[in-house]
Amino acid sequence: MRRSAWLSAILMALLGIPQALPAEPTTAFTVVNAGRSVWQGSVLMPLRMERLRGIAAVREGATPLAWQPAEGGVLVLLPGTTSTGMARRIVVEAGKHADPPRSDLQVTETANTITIANLYYRVEHPKRGNGGFPTSIRFNQSGVVEKGFVFEDRLFEKTRGSQAWRSDAEATVRVLEAGPVQVVVETRAKAAKEPGNPRAVYRYHYRASSPVVEVSARVERDDDFAWSELHFLQISRKDSSFGRWAGGEPGCSPTPEKLLPSRNGR
């Protein structure tokens, strides 16, 4: 029997999510922010791609906007601040296909790494090994490069011990989606020698002009064994360089907490 556990986390709290009003085969949309004010938010325009032979431009008034095709429509970056209750009119122009405007979001690949960068960070994933977790994070505002983070994500049960995803040297990483609005990176790791074949699929959503990285994980197994602990985004270090962290439910203000040492003292 296959059991699945769905987990999601946002490393920094989003202030709100704009909501698009559904539209028929028209190219005009009204986007209304029913939540908190959002800086550089993104919104999915529910557009049937087969009704358009191509997209010539996406604009707000005379201003061209960054966009990319996405499942269910077109993902559009809304520049500036979208205040609570604010309505914005977005037009999708059909015509000869044209490349969208570029943003600060970039993804590059080498034989061994995948690197995603924007105004706030530069994150490097190995294409193989380390459970697919980032091996280098640069904070662009300060210039600090951190390579000492240890991802303690794992399964644990007293009778079987611990199964850490970062121990999978055969873990794989690939780019699922890339554009000026969003880059999605998928990682796959497993505990190959463990009965039941436990495995994890992570998806990292990197977005333009935002310090927020949204991470979701799906953990599966083929048996009915009940692991007593499932650790998700347990980021540790071998030193005390970072003494505090902030967390909370999506859409809420983060709550500062003390950073506790992991089971290995990290």
The whole-angstrom separation of Cα 256 and Cα 244 is: 7
Do residues 77 and 64 lie in contact, with contact meaning Cβ atoms separated by under 8 Å?
Answer: no
What's at 84, amino acid-wise?
T
* Whether this model's pTM surpasses 0.75: yes
Give the model's pLDDT for residue 48. Answer: 73
Q: Which are the contacts of 225, defined by CB distance < 8 A and separation ≥ 6?
A: 157, 160, 195, 196
- Paired residues of 258 in beta bridges: 244
Residues 33-81 have pLDDT tens digits of 888 888 888 899 887 766 555 788 899 999 999 999 888 889 999 999 9
Q: How confident is the model at residue 190 (pLDDT cuts 50, 70, 90)?
A: very high
Bridge partners (DSSP) of residue 185 are 175, 204
Supply the DSSP string of 26-77, one letter for each residue: -SEEEEE--SS-EES-EEEE---GGG-S-EEEEEETTEE--EEEETTEEEEE
Model confidence pLDDT, tens digit, residues 196-209: 899 999 999 999 99
pLDDT of 262 > 90? The answer is no
Task: List, for residues 94-128, the tens digit of each pLDDT value.
Answer: 878 788 899 999 999 999 999 999 999 999 999 99
Q: Would you list the domain boundaries of the chain?
A: 3-13+104-258, 19-94
230-to-132, 159, 196, 233 alpha-carbon distances in Å:
17, 15, 15, 10
Per-residue confidence (pLDDT) for residue 131, from 0 to 100: 96
Residue bearing tokens 């999506």: 250
Topology of domain 19-94, CATH: Immunoglobulin-like (2.60.40)
Largest CA distance in the chain: 64
Q: What is the pLDDT of residue 64?
A: 94
Q: How do residues 130-174 score in pLDDT, each as one tens digit?
A: 999 999 999 999 999 999 999 999 999 998 888 999 999 999 999
| Mean pLDDT across the chain | 82
Question: What is the pLDDT confidence band of residue 246, given thresholds at 50, 70 and 90?
Answer: confident
pLDDT recorded at residue 61:
92
Question: Angle at the Cα of 147 (from 232 to 135), degrees rounded to 5?
Answer: 55
